[in-house]
Structure 1
Amino acid sequence: MSAFIQQLPALIGVMIGALGSYLAVVRSDQARFLRERTARWEERRLAVYADYARSLKKTVTLTYRVASHLGADPHPHPLSLAAAEPLLAEAAVARDPSGEALIMLGSTEAVEKARLWVAVVLEMERFVRAERREPQAWQTLLAQQRAAREGYYAAVRSDLELRPGHAARVPLPSVPPA
């Protein structure tokens, strides 16, 4: 028995070392799991944000083209409203699922900024559907759309903890009055 008592401190040391090693591995695995899960969700949110922006930009581009046909925008590829109608409907249908995904996964601020952006885009769509030929009013809408888009992208970058990005302001040629 005295041999057992002499070996007891070594045995306790081995047990403490094994327990410590086990706890270190468990904590390391938990930390890795949390990092991987966070990265997966960030990737999903980025994909949702990009899909929504892409679906909204389809409508924006179509309204540019119709406004160009009406003489209100300098877009180089004009498109008549009749030709754009099915494309606008398709863009609206494609926007709905990406909007739902945005509501589900997006931050409160990004969703709010997306709502502001889509409201301006819908106003642009109403403008061209009414076949308005007012370059100044169209330019005002364009400025509002760009500001709303910039706000959305800033909210997305903030949510994903990215650096501030480019405002994408490219000077466009002016449209001569009709």
Structure 2
Amino acid sequence: MGLTGQLATLVGVALGAVLSMATTMIVEKARWRREQSVRWDERRLSAYAEYAHAVKELAHRYRRIAVAKGIAASGAAPLEPTEEVLAAVAEAEVQRSALAETVWLLGDVETNTAAVRLNHCLWHLEWLARELPTREQGGWDQAYEDFRQARQDFLKLARAGLGVRGTRIAESVPWPPPWRGDLSQATRR
């Protein structure tokens, strides 16, 4: 084997080593990106779920206070706004605020914007339940419907950001359900 043959073999071995190393680097980088994506998706899912639950819990408390004050129609057990109740609601708001910070750190622009809108709707419910003056017309029922829509929008965008396919509910389901009937008539009897 001449010098040319040895040189060709050496170049072939070196080229094979470089290609093998480059392929390994590309595969490892793709694996690392996949692992990072899964890691952040898990954290995003947890942040979105905890935040959505905290918001729903606060809205339910505000609704119960509004029922106790006669601002909202029945549908939830009344909750008298005692000092203890208001302190618990304030603590829940602090927790919601902390969870919102996590959402804003991990979320995409659309989901974060939906979270801000959801906060505004939630605070509107709080103001109405506390009987603070607002510029909005329509009262409790409209504010609660706006809240429900904002929460649905947040969940929809969170699902899209996480790559969850499909919709939350396959078809429109009426609220309140037909089996409830007209509760205003039932409470008058």
Equivalent in 175, 179, 188 of residue 171 of structure 1: 175
**Counterparts of 1:65 and 1:115 in 2: how far apart (Å)?**
23
Matched, 1:19 2:18: yes
* Residue-pair matches, total: 173
Which segment is superposed worse, 46-55 or 163-172?
163-172
Decide whether aligned partners of structure 1 residues 90 and 169 sit closer, same or farther in structure 2, where only a CA change above 3 A counts: farther
| Alpha-carbon spacing, 1:149–1:171, altered in 2? closer, same or farther (3 Å) | same
SS at match of 1:148: helix
Shift of 1:17: 1.7
In structure 2, do the counterparts of structure 1 residues 6 and 113 end up closer, same or farther at CA, with 3 Å as the change threshold? Answer: closer
Whole-Å separation in 2 of the counterparts to 1:11 and 1:27: 24
C-alpha deviation, 1:67, in angstroms? 2.6
CA contact (8 A) 1:59 1:88 kept: yes
Query: Deviation of residue 76 (structure 1)?
Result: 4.4
Q: 1:53 to 1:73 in 2, by over 3 A?
A: same
What are the ranges of 5 or more consecutive residues in structure 2 without an aligned counterpart? 133-137
Root mean square deviation of aligned Cα:
2.6
Quote the offset at 1:13 in angstroms: 2.0
TM-score by length of 1: 0.83
Counterpart mapping for 1:51-130 below 5 A = 51-71=50-70, 72-82=72-82, 83-130=84-131
Q: Return closer, same or farther for 1:6/1:112 CA change in 2, 3 Å cut-off.
A: closer
The separation in 1 between residues aligned to 2:5 and 2:119, in whole angstroms, is 78
Q: Which runs of 5+ in 1 are unaligned?
A: none
1 CA distance for matches of 2:91 and 2:165?
34
1:72-107 C-alpha deviation (Å, 9 max, x unpaired): 243343211115312211111111211222222221
Residue 15 of structure 1 and its aligned partner are, at CA, apart by: 2.1
Answer whether contact 1:66 1:84 (CA < 8 A) is retained: no
* Residue 158 (structure 1) shift: 2.2
Match of 1:150 among 143, 149, 152: 152
**Matched residue of 1:68: which SS?**
helix
What is the TM-score of this pair, normalised by structure 2?
Answer: 0.78
- C-alpha separation between the residues in 1 aligned to 2:28 and 2:167? 34
Q: Aligned ranges for residues 128-139 of structure 1 at < 5 Å?
A: 128-130=129-131, 137-139=139-141
